[in-house]
Copies of this chain bind each other. A is one copy, B any other.
Amino acid sequence: MDIRIDRESAVPIYMQISTGIKELILTGKLPEGFRLPPERRLAEALGVNRSTVLSAYRELKADALVDSHVGRGTSVLPRSHAAAVSASVQPLAWRQLVREGATEVQDPLLRDLLALAERSDVITLSVGLPAAEMLPLAVLRKVQADVLQDVGAPMLLHSPTEGLTHFREALCQLVIARGIQCSPAEVLVTSGSQQGLDLAARVFVAPGDEVVVEEPTFFGALQVFRRAQARLLSVPIDRDGMRTDVLEALLERHRPKLIYTLPTFQNPSGTVMSLERRLHLLALAYRFQVPVLEDDPYYELRYEGESVPPLKALDEHGYVIYLSSFSKVLFPGLRIGWLAAPRPAARQLALVKQAVDLHSSTAGQYLLERFLRDGHYARHVKAVRPEYARRRDIMHESLTAEAPSGVTWTKPQGGFYFWCRFPDGIRQSQLLGKAAELRVSYLPGDACVAGEPGANHFRLNFTFAPPDLIRDGVARLMEALRVMARRPQGGKPEGEATPPIV
């Protein structure tokens, strides 16, 4: 038996011996039934204490590789024994190892909706995606070849955590049209605006801290704040956006760390906050010294009416962190978003991002910078606006034609969504099942509220599905509502299957 011992090694000698023998057994050099040398003899041969060899043999027994009997010494066992004992190592209780709060959100809704979007037989009205068939792929083909040619390897190497300087300059240029003045040092490129939310929560929200959200609000933000173990203070929305009178009452009694708002074409309600409310909100933020997290991915997708300036444009005192995105206009799959924040805030957010993912895709930043600089971005916005307006009108007409009585909605002036209410007496879970059966997906309103699942709402997207599918999808969903309205909602009728939405 060839066993090497290294007395300098950090591995205990008994373990070196048992590992050596284990290797010989597992590689078949010591066959089943082979008798190991008596402990004393091996100890002498290796120049170690007998107790060391005893320990080594004990290890091998514990691994069920050998067994010993008085008079017969120690011999190699058949493989099956080892397998049996191997199974006796305690499996790790992964679930119990998960720290408290890490996966507060049990319902992996968003993930499932993304997966659903991959299914071809379902009409997808649930997602927040731009029209895939309108994406400027021919332009992209040329731009990606050009950039690779012009930039070369740096396009594929690391880049600063804050983002490429030229790209940040282009972003500052972009928002001048929104009335926002910012410098590249105030801009942080993020891996999608979802990351902007997550970074803000990591920097400003400790477990137990309070955060103001609208009701309803973007459910990706709810996920982030829940994981941060924030206490959510909901402020209702009416047709003019967040009810700032309710906000004022809340701020008199609470000290939230952030006010999170989507003032323009709010997700999911489609509402635009009035200028008056925006000024009131800012006045309250100043008075109560609370930073504002403004999420504004739909600003450019206005189909009629006058633009209202973002809070960031109205904020003269550096209270607003402004999140935006390319995912609603161009390429959600690139995962490039950005934020503009007062410098001390931008700096803290960058410090955290550095440990989170170093930086966002360098290639994606070069591509989007070229799209901005060469006017492809502006041209694309101009091209999609009338088409999205048309799809919105088609959805409105389909709803008008098909909706059973009791279903209500508001036609939005921009953005991506209709927010619809259905009559009491229909259960959201059963409606979801029926809709899946009829192969149409929507976003249930429960996902968009912080508190108790309240009113009966759902969100429909009108930008992703082409016009024909919008008509079909709305018809299917309204059919599901009609069926549900006719059915007693106590228990499930026999024989009905509720396919899960996955």
Contact = CB atoms under 8 A, between A and B. Distances in A.
A202 B102 contact: yes
A342 B93 CA distance: 11
Given A99-B206, A205-B99, A359 B114 contact: yes
Interface string A336-370: 00000010110010111011111111111000000
A174 interface: no
B153 A92 contact: no
B137 A157 contact: no
A246 B10 contact: yes
Contact of A355 (B92, B223, B361): B223
Nearest to A239: B8
Identical chains bound together, number: 2
A78 to B, nearest CB: 18
A344 B102 CA distance: 14
Interface of A: 9-12, 15-16, 19, 22, 86, 89-95, 97-103, 105, 108, 110-111, 114-115, 117-118, 127, 129, 132-133, 135, 137, 140-141, 144-145, 148-149, 152-162, 191-192, 194-195, 198, 202-206, 209, 220, 223-224, 227, 238, 240, 243-246, 257, 274, 276-277, 279-280, 283, 286, 289, 291, 316-319, 330-335, 342, 344-345, 348, 350-352, 354-364
Given A223-B355, A351-B108, A355-B198, A332 B206 contact: no
9 contacts: A94-B342, A127-B158, A135-B156, A192-B358, A195-B356, A220-B355, A334-B362, A335-B361, A363-B364
Contacts of A330: 156
A114 B357 CA distance: 13
A358 B334 contact: no
Contacts of A10: 238, 240, 243-246, 277
Nearest to A159: B333
Given A140-B156, A354-B111, A361-B334, A11 B244 contact: yes
Contact of A358 (B91, B102, B160, B194): B194
Nearest to A22: B279
Contact of A153 (B11, B22, B135): B135
Nearest to A242: B10
A191 to B, nearest CB: 5
A99 B291 CA distance: 13
Contacts of A132: 153-154, 157
A465 B171 CA distance: 33
A345 B157 CA distance: 30
B276 A9 contact: yes
A127 B243 CA distance: 51
B361 A361 contact: yes
Given A98-B348, A157-B333, 8 more contacts: A86-B317, A91-B317, A92-B291, A137-B156, A141-B145, A156-B332, A198-B355, A220-B358
A10 B444 CA distance: 27
Given A192-B358, A240-B9, A257 B97 contact: yes
A345 B96 CA distance: 11
Contact of A111 (B93, B100, B160, B224): B160
Contacts of A103: 203, 348, 351-352
Contact of A362 (B111, B227, B333, B355): B333
Contacts of A95: 344, 348
Contacts of A9: 240, 274, 276
Nearest to A331: B156
Contacts of A198: 355-357
A193 to B, nearest CB: 10
Most chain B beta-carbon contacts within 10 A, residue among A89, A100, A240, A348? A89
A286 B355 CA distance: 30
Most chain B beta-carbon contacts within 10 A, residue among A16, A153, A317? A153
A230 to B, nearest CB: 11
A159 B113 CA distance: 10
A161 B111 contact: yes
A158 B128 CA distance: 10
Contacts of A356: 194-195, 198, 356
A368 to B, nearest CB: 11
